[in-house]
Structure 1
Amino acid sequence: MRGLEGKVAFVTGAGRGIGEAIAKRLAAEGAKVAVADIIEDNARQTADAIGAAAIAIAVDVTNSAAVRAAVAECEKRLGPIDVLVNNAGWDKIEPFIESREETWDKVIAINLKGPIICIRAVLEGMIARGKGRIVSIASDAGRVGSTGEAVYSGAKSGLIGFSKTLAREMARHHINVNVVCPGPTGTPLLKQAMQNSKLMESLVRAVPFRRLAEPDEIASAVAFLASDDAGFITGQTLSVSGGLTMI
């Protein structure tokens, strides 16, 4: 245990994949977890798997009113939020020249505006209490770019820049703000996007470890940054990519 006992964590996109692994890992470290997801059934399944330490909350992170209501529900049932994990994300892999504006809007709304909305909803409470941890899941695509993910890369890069600025502004309130950038990870979303087996094989070959990350490996990094062990770390971007990027 690393200082997460009794803390309250709000994890978005926690119904499956990386978010599910994060929610389960934080609960295993002693936190009470609000499993937030746009698909209520997925949120409930994850919360049920965790047990009494978790609750399920259905929320669309692109809707400010819905996020504020979800935060209020979490704090009513579990207590003030100590840890926010912005994990909800979405992408459509395609050449930029073939993409449409409605896709750009959706990608930016979920991957950039969503975390901004969620952070704003918890920030005043954290400031009042003089403490808090915010961990946002970006992507190595936001650090070095990724073919077929132009707008997604831009949104994740924006999340990194936003987080660094927020870390500077919030340091005097003892609120740590950091970013985790997963490399290719074996999630349902990736498998759905990479239906071409040759594309998947080439992706694996690009990783020096010659494999995809496991969701639990991303969760380990998040748990560290949410814990007391990372009390003097803020404004940082940590790649968990098996060496795919080394910057």
Structure 2
Amino acid sequence: MTTLNLEGKVALITGGGQGLGLEFARALANAGAKVAVTSRDPRKARESADLIREQTGQDTLGIAVDVTDSAQVAAMAEQAVGAFGRVDILVNSAGINVRKPILEYDEASWDLVQATNLKAPFLCAKAIVPHMIKQRFGRIINISSMLGQVALAERSAYCSSKGGLIQLTKVMALEWAEHNITANAVCPGPFATEMNQVVINNPEANRFFLDHLPVKRWGKPEELTGLIVYLASELSSFMTGSAVVIDGGWTAE
């Protein structure tokens, strides 16, 4: 319990085809874990797995899956366990944001955001945790957001889904602690990812964000990886049910 070495562990990262998910997968592989990355796009899943293998030398697997579909999620779990024999670390990183005022928000967009950000982690945990229970070890890391704790206009579905994910994480922690499974949420603030390019490229919106960040810059995806590796490791065994904010000081005001 004195190392961040993940040698012998297997990590499954949803949304690992790009953005933060890809960064998390690379970090876990660099720490010694074998990794399976998922994407809706088979090409992205395959290319991300190949990239991580080339960069880290670890065994990798790319899985094409719609994480909002329970049958596909069940097949994903079986494929990962079939390939590696176990899954020790589940990182629920797949996410989506649709920005609209509430009165303009259509039901289809609402349902898509809720399904991707909240239902999918529920489905993935249900599929993976039985394997963790059998092996008496598990680490669940749910990627929420600072907007699960504070609000922002035009993010009604996103804020509510990410707030719900924090609460779901706490229930997971309570229900599975006896099986040596921890569940924690990571709550990033504004990070320079593909999802946020629409904001970064809008001068007025970008200035709004920078004015609310005491550090006066967007976060770099790699600045989240230390926490991810820690939460995946033996060192975090007494930490469960927590929601950790990394947001450049936004929520400190």
Q: Structure 1 length as normaliser, TM-score?
A: 0.96
- Counterpart of 2:21 in structure 1 is 19
For structure 2, list consecutive stretches of 5 or more residues without a partner in the other structure: none
Work out which of the residue numbers 142, 147, 150 in structure 1 matches 2:153: 147
Q: Is the 8 A contact 1:93 1:193 kept in 2?
A: no
Report how far residue 194 of structure 1 moved.
Answer: 4.9
Distance in 1 separating the partners of 2:60 and 2:204: 39
- Counterpart of 2:96 in structure 1 is 90
Report how far residue 20 of structure 1 moved.
Answer: 0.5
- Counterpart of 1:49 in structure 2 is 51
For structure 1, list consecutive stretches of 5 or more residues without a partner in the other structure: none
Aligned residue for 1:245, secondary structure, equals helix
Range with bigger deviation, 194-203 or 131-140 = 194-203
Report how far residue 76 of structure 1 moved.
Answer: 1.0
- Counterpart of 1:161 in structure 2 is 167
Determine if the alignment matches structure 1 residue 71 to structure 2 residue 93.
no
Aligned residue for 2:252, secondary structure, equals coil
- Counterpart of 2:130 in structure 1 is 124
- Counterpart of 1:36 in structure 2 is 38
Q: Is the 8 A contact 1:92 1:193 kept in 2?
A: no
Q: Is the 8 A contact 1:205 1:211 kept in 2?
A: no
Measured at CA, do residues 94 and 194 of structure 1 come closer, stay the same or move farther in structure 2, by a change above 3 Å? farther
- The alignment's C-alpha RMSD in Å is 1.3
Q: Structure 2 counterpart of 1:222, which letter?
A: I
Distance in 2 separating the partners of 1:163 and 1:25: 22
Shift >4 Å, 4+ stretches: none
- Counterpart of 2:237 in structure 1 is 231
Distance in 1 separating the partners of 2:203 and 2:52: 33
Measured at CA, do residues 193 and 106 of structure 1 come closer, stay the same or move farther in structure 2, by a change above 3 Å? farther
Q: Structure 2 counterpart of 1:198, which letter?
A: E
Aligned residue for 1:4, secondary structure, equals coil
Report how far residue 15 of structure 1 moved.
Answer: 0.6
Q: Is the 8 A contact 1:112 1:156 kept in 2?
A: yes
Percent of pairs with identical residues: 39
What do residues 31-80 of structure 1 show as CA deviations (whole Å, max 9, x unaligned)? 00001111222222221111142111111100011011011111111221
Q: Structure 2 length as normaliser, TM-score?
A: 0.94
Aligned residue for 1:223, secondary structure, equals helix
Report how far residue 189 of structure 1 moved.
Answer: 1.1
